[in-house]
Structure 1
Amino acid sequence: MTTQSFSDTEFVVRTIAQTAVDNEKEFGDLDSVVGDGDFGFSLARGFEIVLADWDSYDRTNIGVFLQKIAMVITGRIGGTSGPIWGTAFLRAATVTKGRDEITGTDAVAMLRAAMDGIKARGNAELGDKTLLDALAPMTDTIEEKLAAGASSDEVVAAAAATARTAADATVSMQARRGRAAYTGERSIGSPDPGAVAVAVILERLASEWGSRPGAS
């Protein structure tokens, strides 16, 4: 089982933040189809602060670091996105409490904990046309690839491919949570912005994973 260092966790978080900032317009445009259009703006403004304050975060261990990130996200990202994304980071932090390194199994546990937090906070389930519909199959793929002995490069690439396929599949779904749910059947025909965000983040991670600090 591949063990990932603290720097890998930092790389993942920083990539999430930078991708959110870089794709503000794309995510906002997607949200404006049947939502209020603030998803891209809210996410970007919050993660800009994460990047601006990057060097100041407590790095006593991975759990503490993720907890600090969660607090910033919850407090600085507007709308429903802040509590949902913040809860995801906070739940992941609980899995890594006191840890300086994590295994692939830990990463899966972090993702599943994050999903449980999103379900509870957003009162959402799979099939409701939310970011869960990309996170869940992506996590299953990671678990399957790890069990098969795949390298971390292979795991991340497979996760990105699954996330994209899953995000595309939300086009045919009817939204049952969030502002888009109020549009009923009009929500069918466009992808969920949160699910697309997950896919875009994973695709960037996959493209840059081999050049991350400390990569062999």
Structure 2
Amino acid sequence: MTIDATEQVVRTIAETAIDNEKYFGDLDSVVGDGDFGYSLARGFEKLLEGWDDLDRSNSGTFLKRTGMVIASRIGGTSGPLWGTAFIRAGTAAGDADLTGERVVAMLRAAIEGIKARGQSDVGDKTLLDALVPMTDRLQLALDDGASPEEAVRAAAATAREAAEATSTMVAKRGRASYTGERSRGSVDAGAMAVAVIAERISETWQKGAAS
């Protein structure tokens, strides 16, 4: 994956967060404080405002710079978590070409960063409940010889299934955890954001492959 492809993925993430501001906020308002969609959208808007000034020496540097902007511009707990994810992914990327194997390693690094920063894990009803299964599926597809487009499509489908499954969980982290059993029955906003973003990246990837 080239720096151009990395830029496209990050821009897709940013535009998807902005486009889904109300949807993500509505999901968060069920048991949270409802500011997730707003915070995410404002942070990624700031990223796009300074888009041309981001260091593009290589994919790793670009992702780390992206993470720094996000960490400082997204409000609440989301900024440190999403910012850490990008920074850790950028560190794992380094200055090498981004093969499928390297992308999986970047996602694993992002996951570990989120776990450490949020003191959370799979099963706590957070974005990890979509991000981890998505990454596992991506690795499995690539190991099975799938094309990048096929692997991304499979990963996005898994992210959607996993995000939907958070509706059966009780939140153990964030403001939603204060509601206890009442958090059961609604999906986690962060997990659904991961799913929606993964689907948009997959759609963009398919279009690029077809053109």
Task: Work out whether the TM-score is over 0.5.
Answer: yes
Instruction: Report the Cα offset of residue 5 of structure 1.
Output: 1.6
1:56-205 alignment runs, 5 A limit: 56-99=53-96, 101-205=97-201
What is the identity, as a one-letter code, of the residue corresponding to 2:13? I
Which of these residues, 2, 5, 8, is aligned with residue 5 of structure 1? 2
Question: Which amino acid is the alignment partner of residue 89 of structure 1?
Answer: F
Cα deviation for residue 129 of structure 1 reads 0.1
Whether 1:24 and 2:48 are equivalent positions in the alignment is: no
Of residues 15, 23, 43, the one that matches 1:46 is: 43
Following TM superposition, by how much is the alpha carbon of 1:215 offset from its aligned partner in structure 2, in angstroms?
A: 6.9
3-state SS, counterpart of residue 102 of structure 1? coil
Aligned residue number for residue 207 of structure 2: 211
Task: State the Cα deviation string for residues 56-76 of structure 1 (Å, max 9, x = none).
Answer: 111111111111101100000
Residues 126 and 190 in structure 2, CA contact (< 8 A), matched pair in contact too: yes
Segments of 4+ moved more than 6 angstroms: none
The number of residue pairs the alignment matches comes to 211
One-letter amino acid of the structure 2 residue matched with residue 146 of structure 1: L
- 1:174 is paired with a residue of what secondary structure? coil
Q: Deviations over 1:169-201 (max 9, x none)?
A: 000000000000000000000000000000000
Partner SS state of residue 124, structure 1: coil
1:98 is displaced (CA, Å) by 2.1
Is structure 2 residue 34 aligned with structure 1 residue 37? yes
Gaps of 5+ in 2: none
CA distance in structure 2 between the partners assigned to 1:113 and 1:63 by the alignment: 12
TM-score computed with the length of structure 2 as normaliser = 0.97
Unaligned runs of 5+ in 1: none
SS of structure 2 residue aligned to 1:191: coil
Aligned sequence identity (%)? 64
State the one-letter code of the partner of 2:152. V
TM (normalized to structure 1)?
0.95
